[in-house]
Amino acid sequence: MNKDSKIYIAGHRGMVGSAIMRKLQQEGYTNLLTRTSAELDLRNQQAVADFFASEKPEYVFLAAAKVGGIVANNTYRAEFLFDNLQIQNNIINSSHVNDVKKLMFLGSSCIYPKMAPQPLHEDALLTGLLEPTNEPYAIAKIAGIKMCDAYRAQYGCNYISVMPTNLYGYNDNYHPQNSHVLPALIRRFHEAKEQGAATVIIWGSGSPLREFLFADDLAEACFYLMQNYDEEGFINIGSGKEITIKDLAILIKDIVGYTGNLEFDTTKPDGTPRKLMDVSKLAEKGWTYKTELADGIKLAYADFLNKHKG
């Protein structure tokens, strides 16, 4: 990619897309192409075809998707499958028709079988049944990987796929019901501190292990791989480090400055006991994460405070 190459970032207002955009701007890329969902409905095949035909992007970061937590995934199963298939089908095919030089498709760690061996290695894809609650989303993301591979095999397209671990950072979703565990804990501890609550109750035992990556580190990895990776299949992006939910809660509690008590409601489900990415393939390509969890949470909390004043 040259500094003046026309680069389309699909999903530039989300946590991942905005991080990729910041990284490109920091590196001096000046010809960045974006559209909001109001300006361009990526589910509309004709609209996407017209956009690509008129704008002719040279490089594409496909970070647009319909996303949500476990409740949304399980409730809107048809929408999660249909919308995500439409978005990626339209962008991948229009990229081919308009001779895009390289495309990066971003997936999700939920593509792995529910009972896949830990840490999750790329070879585990399609070796078992998926987690039922987010199966439609996972199926769509698997289809995206396979579509990139199919266009590579049939047409020689330079399309690559990456699978990020659990992400957090700037522009995260702090919705009370729909957010993921790390941003949810930031909000709950902050509100407990503001309200002077004596106790914060957390679902489950606190024993499950989870891996987290700062979204700006993901953007660094995507930028690096766009220039140094060209293979079928996909590559995991993560820190390769894990932490228990209990230790995560204590860490966030300290950063937020909440001084009350912490209680775990063991009548509530724990979810998967462990979910860690095998990042050996990524390390062999020459990239490792930079932002330690405590440092990243401080940055995320500052961003939360800035966006949720009062």
Q: For the beta carbon of residue 189, count every other beta carbon within 10 angstroms.
A: 24
Query: Residue 270's pLDDT is what?
Result: 83
Beta bridge partners of 127: none
Average confidence (pLDDT) over 226-244: 97
- The verdict on whether residue 14 carries a ligand-binding annotation is yes
Q: Structure pTM?
A: 0.95
- The verdict on whether residue 12 carries a ligand-binding annotation is yes
Res. 161: pLDDT tops 70: yes
Cα–Cα separations (whole angstroms), residue 162 to 148, 219, 229, 264: 11, 11, 10, 35
Res. 310: pLDDT tops 60: no
Average confidence (pLDDT) over 21-45: 98
Structure token pair of residue 200: 């914060």
Res. 131: pLDDT tops 70: yes
- The verdict on whether residue 13 carries a ligand-binding annotation is yes
- The verdict on whether residue 108 carries a ligand-binding annotation is yes
- The verdict on whether residue 16 carries a ligand-binding annotation is yes
Query: Can you tell me the distance from the alpha carbon of 196 to that of 190, in angstroms, rounded to the nearest whole number?
Result: 10
Q: What is the pLDDT of residues 246-280, one digit of tens each?
A: 999 999 999 999 999 999 999 988 877 888 999 99
- The verdict on whether residue 164 carries a ligand-binding annotation is yes
Residue 180 binned pLDDT confidence (cut-offs 50, 70, 90): confident
Q: What is the pLDDT of residues 91-103, one digit of tens each?
A: 999 999 999 999 9
- The verdict on whether residue 203 carries a ligand-binding annotation is yes
Listed range (4-13, 28-37, 61-70, 205-214) with the worst mean pLDDT: 61-70
Listed range (12-16, 73-77, 209-213) with the worst mean pLDDT: 73-77
Res. 232: pLDDT tops 80: yes
- The verdict on whether residue 165 carries a ligand-binding annotation is yes
Angle of CA points 199, 204, 210, to nearest 5°: 105
Average confidence (pLDDT) over 152-168: 97
User: Contact 214/168 with Cβ under 8 angstroms?
Assistant: yes
Q: What is the 3-state secondary structure (H, E, C) of the chain?
A: CCCCCCEEEECCCCHHHHHHHHHHHHCCCCCEECCCCCCCCCCCHHHHHHHHHHHCCCEEEECCCCCCCHHHHHHCHHHHHHHHHHHHHHHHHHHHHCCCCEEEEECCHHHCCCCCCCCECHHHCCCCCCCHHHHHHHHHHHHHHHHHHHHHHHHCCCEEEEEECEEECCCCCCCCCCCCHHHHHHHHHHHHHHHCCCEEEEECCCCCEECEEEHHHHHHHHHHHHHHCCCCCCEEECCCCCEEHHHHHHHHHHHHCCCCEEEEECCCCCCCCEECECCHHHHHCCCCCCCCHHHHHHHHHHHHHHHCCC
Average confidence (pLDDT) over 199-209: 94
Cα–Cα separations (whole angstroms), residue 201 to 108, 151, 181, 268, 273: 28, 49, 13, 11, 19
Beta bridge partners of 305: none
Structural domains of the chain in order of their starting residue, each with its CATH number: 7-168+212-240+279-284 (3.40.50.720), 181-208+242-275+292-307 (3.90.25.10)
Beta bridge partners of 213: 167
The residues annotated as belonging to the active site are 137
- The verdict on whether residue 167 carries a ligand-binding annotation is yes
Query: What whole-number percentage of the chain has pLDDT above 70?
Result: 99
Supply the mean pLDDT for the chain. 95
Q: What is the pLDDT of residues 112-126, one digit of tens each?
A: 999 999 999 999 999
Angle of CA points 288, 291, 295, to nearest 5°: 165
Res. 176: pLDDT tops 80: no
Residue 67 binned pLDDT confidence (cut-offs 50, 70, 90): confident
